[in-house]
Amino acid sequence: MCVPDTLSNEIICSDTVNIYKNFAIHSILCYCKILISQSLIFMGNYKHILFDLDGTITDPMIGITKSVEFALNHLGIDVNDLTDLCPFIGPPLKDSFREFYSLSDDQIEIALAKYRERYSEIGLYENYLYEGMKDILEYLDSSGFKLYLATSKPTVFAERILDHFNLINYFTFIGGSSLDNSRNTKTAVIEHVLQINNITDLSQTIMIGDRKHDIIGAKNVGIDSVGVLYGYGDYDELNLAGATYIVEDIKGLSDLLFS
């Protein structure tokens, strides 16, 4: 039987409609199978899960950008829009000051000191926990996974943030950068976490983060990675960096981990 399509003024036959319906159902079933198989693979393969902090567990936009602005103002640099400073979220600050403002080594040291002056007292708490993240951490911890923090933020700040949000007890180890810049890349931080915790089976280990530095760091040490799009990186950035998995939002991360 054929009927007119009132939107396009074309004739649509019932056989054609059935074909489209069957195709749609098949596509949905295939997608569900992919999600289920990814979750089963994830649950079966990994034991050690490393999390980034900024843009992955919490959204630190206000605290970081205002503290960067404070540092730049001290050097006589004006900032018109805090969102222009969002690229500072995630990567090591030293690299960002050099890349985005072409600061000299001496200026970078001054900027870091001024940044930490504000951030340690105020910016640390201009921060909020992503909705649903605590449930994810609680479930993983209670299910026997070992959770570790691997952040470019100095360890002392990371510990205070996790404590502020009552998350610190979910983590076996808190790994961050060092204030003396001796551990100032994401690769170095991840290596530090693996070494201190004697994690040698890299096939059972995965890194979750929102920026290319998380993905590249994971790749450099030989572990898989999950790129999350609800933070401050985009799909192209994470895909080009070589993320093993990419998820859209907290629900997508939850689905991947344990749906």
**Neighbour-count burial for 231-248, b at 16+ CB within 10 Å, e otherwise:** bbbeeebbeebebebbbe
Size of the chain, expressed as the number of residues it contains: 259
Residues annotated as part of the active site = 52
For residue 53, give both structure tokens.
Answer: 């902090």
Q: What are phi and psi of 56, to 5 degrees?
A: -125, -50
Closest among 165, 177, 173, 186 to 146, alpha carbons compared = 173
Q: Are 199 and 205 in contact (CB under 8 A)?
A: yes
